[in-house]
Amino acid sequence: MPKTKIAVIGLGGTIASLADHPLEILDYGASGSLECDALVDLFPELGELADILAVRFRAVPSFNIFYPDWKALLSLMEKIEAETPGLGGFVLLHGTGSMEETAFFLSQTVRTALPVVMTGAQRPPSARSSDAGLNLANAIRAATAPAARDQGVLILMNDELHAAREATKVSTLRLNAFQSPDSGPVGVVDGDAVTFYRQPLRRRAPHHRFDLSNVDMLPRVDIVYSYTGSDGTAARAFVEAGASGIVSAGFAPGYTADADAGVLAQAVREKGLVVVQASRGGAGRTFDSRRARQSGFIPADNLNPQKARLLLALALTRTRDTAEIADIFRIH
């Protein structure tokens, strides 16, 4: 039986980084990094899992990646699918720091219905106990699974498959750094099988996607983080910088500090600013509270602040009507 053809695209990150000692698992990169094809060549057994098309893209530190890189990646994926007969899916290699943001953005924008699985590593491939090889192997196995089609973008880390909307990085160094706090993983990849237990229900690409063909840059959306003693300085600065929208990372279950709330509510009334109320709590949903309604804030549901920021930016490419944006947050 012919093997499934999988495109593996490299975007840099720990999974492609090298340290100068096998026990160096923290301060790596001093010995350079590997291009995607060189990384795949490190693990020749990957060829037993799929017919791998290794594609060099660009090595982007995960803390620097943003819209220009994402738009270029979307174009590259469309080109690969159009030019590669029999392509079965994509595996994207990415730094873990912002992997959840890239995954969520792609889950709202990709055109392909093929499986798209993102993975990375908590320890570089040069480390004695690196997770790079097995994460890459399991991501390839997941991308070949028929059940992975139409699941949106998935994140594979530490043998678990997570939906892009729910997954978040919850630990700096542990191998089980990615979790879906409210819902858990959608499936697992074990030595004998790729097993799915549930399917994401919220709207996602390719059937419900934001078309960014004519969007050169996303509208500016900033995050105001609530903390005791906040005096509204950050909120004012973002408003004065010309933000089109702001996400309030409020106290759980979703309350913005009074000084910040006053600044934002005034900007909603006077400048048409769109404000989404999220929580800094890490899990759980924000709701349509009386306080939020009085301020003109839209609840983020259970999206964390960084993903609420992206969905708000995408929504603002379509509309500035707050009722429509509230609907987008209810269904996406």
pLDDT averaged per 10 residues in sequence order, the chain, 332 residues: 92 91 84 89 94 92 92 97 97 96 97 96 92 96 94 96 96 94 95 93 91 95 96 97 97 93 96 97 91 91 97 97 96 96
d(CA 194, CA 97): 25
pTM value surpassing 0.85: yes
- What is the per-residue pLDDT for 1? 67
d(CA 305, CA 179): 16
Q: Which helix (H) or strand (E) covers residue 39, if one does?
A: helix 36-42
> Of these residues, 14, 119, 168, 286, which one is catalytic?
14
- Whether residue 68 has a cis bond before it, omega within 30° of 0: no
- What is the per-residue pLDDT for 289? 85
- Looking at the DSSP assignment, which residues form a beta bridge with residue 167? none
With CA atoms as reference, report the closest residue to 158 among 145, 142, 147.
Answer: 142
User: Biggest alpha carbon distance in the chain?
Assistant: 65
Decide: helix, strand or coil at residue 161. strand
- Looking at the DSSP assignment, which residues form a beta bridge with residue 90? 7, 116
- Whether residue 206 has a cis bond before it, omega within 30° of 0: yes
d(CA 35, CA 8): 11
- What is the per-residue pLDDT for 108? 97
Token readout for 190 is 């074990």
- What is the per-residue pLDDT for 147? 93
In eight-state DSSP terms, residue 198 is -
- What is the per-residue pLDDT for 2? 80
> 222 exposed, middle or buried (CB, 10 Å; 0-12, 13-18, 19+)?
middle
Q: Which helix (H) or strand (E) covers residue 271, if one does?
A: helix 258-271
**Catalytic: 14?**
yes
d(CA 199, CA 151): 7
In eight-state DSSP terms, residue 63 is T
Alpha-carbon distances of 3 from 41, 112, 257, 280, rounded to whole Å: 18, 20, 56, 44
